[in-house]
Amino acid sequence: MQYDQLWVSDIETAIRNGTREKRVDSLRKVTDLFLADAERFSDTQIDVFDNVLCRLIERIETHALAELSRKLAPVPTAPNEIIQQLARSDEIRVAAPVLSQSKRLTSRDLVEIAGTKSQDHLLAITSRANLECSVTDILIERGMDEVLGSLLKNRTAQISREGFSSLVSKANENERLLEQIGRRLGMTMERLRDLLARATEAVREKLLSLMQPDAQQDIERVLSRAADEVVIETAARNDFSAAKKHIQALQAENKLNQQAIAVFLRDKKYEELVVALSVLGKLPVELIDKLMHGERGDGLLIPCKVAGFSWPVVKAILKARPSWKIMSDMQIEKSWHDYLQLSRDTAERINRFWLVREKAGEASAA
Choice between 165 and 197, residue whose per-residue pLDDT is larger: 165
Question: Based on the number of CB atoms within 10 Å of its own CB, is 160 exposed (0-12), middle (13-18) or buried (19 or more)?
Answer: middle
Rounded distance, CA 172 to CA 194, Å? 17
- Among 50-64, 168-182, 206-220, 350-364, the range with the most confident prediction by mean pLDDT is 50-64
Can you say how many angstroms the Cα of residue 323 is from the centroid of all Cα atoms in its chain? 34
The predicted model scores a pTM of: 0.55
Of 358, 224, 226, the C-alpha closest to 287 is 358
CA distance 119 to 85: 18
Q: Which of 145-159, 225-239, 348-362 has the highest mean pLDDT?
A: 145-159
Which range of 51-55, 95-99, 171-175, 224-228 scores highest in mean pLDDT? It is 95-99
Q: Above pLDDT 70, what percent of the chain?
A: 74
13, pLDDT greater than 80: no
pLDDT digits (tens, 9 = 90+) for 214-245: 555 555 554 444 444 444 443 445 678 899 99
Mean pLDDT of 156-176: 80
pLDDT at 60: 84
Question: How far is residue 159's CA from residue 169's CA, in Å, rounded to a whole number?
Answer: 15
Q: Indicate the DSSP class of residue 324.
A: G
In this predicted structure, the answer to whether residue 49 has a pLDDT above a threshold of 80 is yes
Q: Provide, rounded to the nearest whole percent, the portion of the chain with pLDDT above 90.
A: 42
Q: What is the pLDDT of residue 176?
A: 77
Domain extent listing, the chain: 1-96, 106-211, 220-365
In this prediction, residue 185 has a pLDDT band, given cuts at 50, 70 and 90, of: low
Exposure letters 58-83 (e unless 16+ CB within 10 A, then b): eebeeebbbbbbbbbbebebbbbbbb
- Note the Cα 263 to chain centre separation in Å: 38
- Mean model confidence pLDDT for the chain: 81
Whether residue 89 has pLDDT greater than 60: yes
pLDDT at 295 > cutoff 80: no
Mapped onto helix, strand or coil, the DSSP state of residue 12 is: helix
In angstroms, rounded to a whole number, what is the distance separating the alpha carbons of residues 170 and 165?
Answer: 9
| Spatial distance between the Cα atoms of 12 and 79, rounded to a whole number of angstroms | 19
Highest average pLDDT, of 114-118, 193-197, 263-267, 335-339, comes from 114-118
